[in-house]
Structure 1
Amino acid sequence: MIKEDKQPSLYEQIKTYILSEIAQQHWKPHDRIPSEHELTRQFSVSRITVKKAMSDLVENGVIYRLQGKGSYVSPVDKSMIADALPAPSPAKRPIALLLPFINNQFNALLLNGVESVLSEAGYPLLFCNTGNSQEKEERVIRNMVDRDVAGMIIYPVEGESYNREILHLTLDSFPLVVMDRYLRGIDTNFVCSDNVKGAQEAVDYLISLGHRNIGFVSTTVTGTSSIEDRLLGYEKSLAEHQIPIDHRYRLVHLDIEVPKTEEIRSFLTRNPGLTAIFAINPGFGLEILKVAEEMNIRVPQDLSLIFFDDFELSEFHYVRPTCVSQEELKLGQEAARLLLSIMMDPKQEKRKLFLPPALIVRDSTAPPPPQKQSR
């Protein structure tokens, strides 16, 4: 079991501070050091604590006192100062964070959230970019195990429904947290947004505005839990409002890494009755905005648009987008806290944390035009 380092007492911190200043020759032999009153104020401690630390250093011959004048550095051998300094705490083994890419605000905030918690706990972080490749992801996992990392946080690549290396880590009770997505059939600890709820709230809002012909735009659905859950939320909303699910209104095979302009143009051309679209990410959402403008389809007057995730400077976009915002920073922080908890108590029950996203209503949504309000 990994134990957290104990924080040195204030008395020890004051002694270490004085010894370090002398060892680094910031204070040289016969230099006057700060008074007890000054040290009391600097460390926000009682006078008794400072007096005890100073008395120990006088007794050890590190400093000497002159009545009525103050305390001074003794002309002692440097080795004596080095011996008096506390031994440094052993370095903690690093923790690895695997991300499929880091080219957007979402992943940058995830990284920031993870790093802030691990840094406070004294753990160095190894960031690994898997390039959204399952083969590279498996190779990186093996490499991190060989490097004897203390634990891993893994954001699985898109389309991944199974990973043998993650399964091996789970079976070996290795400290592991899966983030943002989870792998169905592998019982891991994970932290992710409630994608079903977020998508359902987005479509509920469109329906509340009067929309009935609502499209769904995504990459291939099967194999990526977050996309599967967003489709489920979309369908649940339609079903609960007794709106038939029309598969013509789905565009679900887009490649996240290649241009998609013509496919979106064709989709909008085939479905002139669409009044709203729910897209699974900002990349697709912004592409829909661009294509709609080229086709003289006005957003939101002719077509409302909501997508999952906010993006940097969205408030300054020419059409401020309505979106489902995930708390990326908190998601990263919770994943790191969960991993530290597992490292402290490896036998605890597997935990599955779903964080609620929030619908942010801006300018890309409005009631449907009168001529399109019925099927």
Structure 2
Amino acid sequence: MKKSLAVALGVGGILGAFELWYRSRDNKPCLMLPAHRHPWRIHNYAADKRIYRTNIPIRNFSRKYECTVVDVQAKVRILGKAALPDPAALQITATIRPWHKETREDGYWPAYILTPQSTLEFELAVECSGDLERLKELHAVVIDLDYITYSRRNKLKKHEEIVLIPEQQVSASPEPITEGDVTLIPVKTHILTDADNMADVIAKYVSPIAQSGDVVVMAESVVAVTQRRYMIPDEHVRPGFWARRLCFLVPNVGSLSSAYGMQSAINEVGLPKMLTGVAVGGFMKVAFRKHGWLYRVAGMPSELIDDLTGTMPPYDKYIVLGPAHAQSVVNEVKARTGLEAAIADVNNIRRAAIVAATKNVDPKQLAASLLSNPHGNSAEQTPIVVVRSAKVAKVESHS
């Protein structure tokens, strides 16, 4: 009996040690990195043919093991401003071409082995042919990229999306809004994507109309979009144990009321801070009927999350986080344009919060001037507002 017990314990110990060894093996993923893609290259081959090209990397992050990129496929989804153009008049297709020695001319993706810590780039080409004037009728083109990776542990199907705005002409901006001694000038832009830089956008749309003392205010969700700070549920974020339970403590109107939104917040601020925020928020609500303490304790990143439907198409299917390095963004705008700048979170219930601002901006005065939500919460396409008021910013002296 003792001998059998000793054998069982020995075998159990060996199996346990083997399991620990297995779990300690490098499990870093092999991922497509659309945030690191090249800028679009536009080729106008003829009056009826235009091709947009970009290179996108796929990286094997494992330090020890190979990973095979089995397949990459591209499909196009078209969003119209109204009805879509007749397919006979305008055709849009997407093709891919890997940049390695086994590339084929027939569009077939040959399975390719990525060695540890190596990167493969492929070219995505979006061809528009036919009556290119009809591109003005399009809201956006979304390219679905489906790919398969094959490693020691598993075979995985993964998905990414790229947004392309083929025609960037913009209609006139809304009329300025005057409230007391404050003038608010909503600025209409093309639909911004991760191919845009906010300093460039403001130099293009705002600099021509700006005056000394103006403050340019950027909507926080749009800044996040230009940084590709948005996620596809189940692809980039998957709810864990706590997210699936804590989300039921948040009212329906909150972006953290879904398990995916809550998990995004946990990823941003950490589980201990979120648990503390939920506990304090619940206590303040029950004991003193005070709302908003969850976000005060958990921090602004949890408050800036927009769940599905929180932004305009095509981003309404994504979870959009708050912007990263917000202070650096406004400083870059100031350095590029000379304008005072801020990033704000504004909604339709007369609430405005300043996420970041350059040093000459008075955050309290600026927040008060934005309570009417001049950015809009729908499809106004006015992610920038110029605030003109002597109270909001000091004019720098250059004497």
Under TM normalisation by the shorter chain, which class is it? under 0.3
User: Does 1 or 2 have the higher relative contact order (CA < 8 Å, sep 6+)?
Assistant: 1
Greater Rg over alpha carbons, structure: 1
Structure 1 or 2: larger helix share? 1
Structure 1 or 2: larger strand share? 2
Give the structure-1-normalised TM-score: 0.22
Give the structure-2-normalised TM-score: 0.21
